[in-house]
Amino acid sequence: MAIRNKTPFTQQPGFPVLLLQAGVGLLVSMLFVISKDQTAGYSALLGGLIALLPNAFFAYKAFRYFGARSTKDIVLSIWSGAMGKWILTAVLFALVFVGIRQLDMAALFVAYLLAVAAAASAPLLIKNF
């Protein structure tokens, strides 16, 4: 019997990582607006969102179940969350490449990579993670 986690999403373990990632995306976007132009700013914002949204999906899926009796459901949920994260990332990149006419590729990828790096280094940056 799988036990669903009734903890609000904002109180789940992955939420501080998402906040850090969102903060990095916004900061990089603002820096690009200040140092370059608006196109670079919104391109960076899109890059940050492409990193953030799939991670939010994964966090939602990964922390749905808990308890020893839910082991199988936990593993399946993490696996489906990881696969969904990769698919969502590819779809979001495709939508941006097809749907946005003026795009600063460098800003997009810099913001994406910095947001991914922020999430990867979150255990070092966030106390009590």
Whether residue 42 contacts residue 29, with contact meaning beta carbons closer than 8 Å, is answered with yes
Domain residue extents for the chain:
15-122
> Per-residue pLDDT averaged across 12-38, rounded?
93
pLDDT exceeds cutoff 60 at 109: yes
Q: What pLDDT shows up at residue 96? A: 98
Q: How many CA atoms lie less than 13 Å away from 2 in the CB half-sphere?
A: 13
Average pLDDT over residues 43-63: 93
Query: Parallel, antiparallel, or unpaired: how do β-strands 3-4 and 65-66 relate?
Result: antiparallel
Q: Look up residue 5 and give its amino acid.
A: N
pLDDT value at residue 82: 92
Q: What is the reported pTM?
A: 0.85
